[in-house]
Amino acid sequence: MHLDIYVYTSPLHTKFRGLTQRDGLLIHGPAGWGETSPFWDYDPQYSAAWLNAGIESATQPYPQPQRTDIPVNVTVPATTPQRARDIVLAGTCTTAKVKVGEPGQNLADDLSRVAAVREALGTNGKIRVDVNGAWDVTQARDALLALNEAAGGLEYAEQPVADVEDLARLRKISPVPIAADESIRRASDPMRVKQLNAADLIVVKNQPLGGVRAALEIAKQIELPVVVSSALESSIGIRAGLAFAAALPQLPYACGLATVQLLTADTVTDSLVPKNGTIAVRDVEPDHIPAPDPQLVQAWDMRLESMWQYCTIDANYTLHTDEYVQ
């Protein structure tokens, strides 16, 4: 089986996870297109799961969907209150996920951002916060008390602490429900979340787990409500996330799949972005992938070779360096 692979890149409207640009690989195979876009601080062995996910999307049909539209949240980076307000108003969603605990910022910054989001959403909107494991248990308890008040009630807090044992301790004293993210996708044993009763729900990204089918299996085993989330992909990667969300037996929460709005450019003209708070489940294809910077291609060429050592799928590939036009 032969795969054609292209490098894509897009600047971000607002700095996110310390990034000003997103880049990755788009993979074309017999079933269509997939995306592989592990962040640059991830090692080859961990990143190979992301490669498996992209190849799966390009070579296998998605599972049978249970729904045709996926409710989503708008994602608010760790930005200024005014910028946060603008992002929410432009997002067409009634649920917002707000990044907090950003390095270089403090709780006062988080509180003002969450208050601005509440103002933009109105009283009926839902707010969830994402901490990326930045706090210890005591910091998390105190910060969540304050943020819960500033938000007029939080829907949940995503990965307030890094360690799954600490997550279990925090859950016993937290004023808001706890969601596990990194404790699922970056853990050697994601089942520890279930064993320790460490979360009320789980946030699951299909790329880090090796694809839609692997993510569905983990969700089935953990037996907690699932929020399907993006890894800041282009519309090609979001398509896989929508397939995952569409195939779940229940979907009680809005999903974090509206992140194409953070990109200044997408390889798909008709991007997978929300309309009235939902994204329709539909296929997309890139119609224009500009030729990337040669240094970026070289970096991805070396990284792809190192990831391929751990890939579990039998295939060969061509990494293209020229512009792709449909």
CA–CA gap between residue 189 and residue 45 (Å, rounded): 16
CA–CA gap between residue 296 and residue 40 (Å, rounded): 12
Dump the DSSP string for 215-239. HHHHHHHH-S-EEEB--S--HHHHH
130 assigned binding-site residue: yes
CA–CA gap between residue 77 and residue 84 (Å, rounded): 7
200 assigned binding-site residue: no
Q: Active site includes 99?
A: yes
The catalytically annotated residue of 172, 205, 220, 275 is: 205
* Helices and strands (DSSP H and E) totals, the chain: 11, 15
DSSP type of residue 120: H
The catalytically annotated residue of 97, 99, 172, 194 is: 99
Helix (H, G, I), strand (E, B) or coil at 242: helix
Farthest CA pair distance, the chain: 55
182 assigned binding-site residue: no
Please name the residues in contact with 106: beta carbons below 8 A apart, sequence gap of 6 or more: none
Active site residues: 99, 205
Annotated binding site for Mg(2+): 130, 158, 181
Annotated binding site: 130, 158, 181
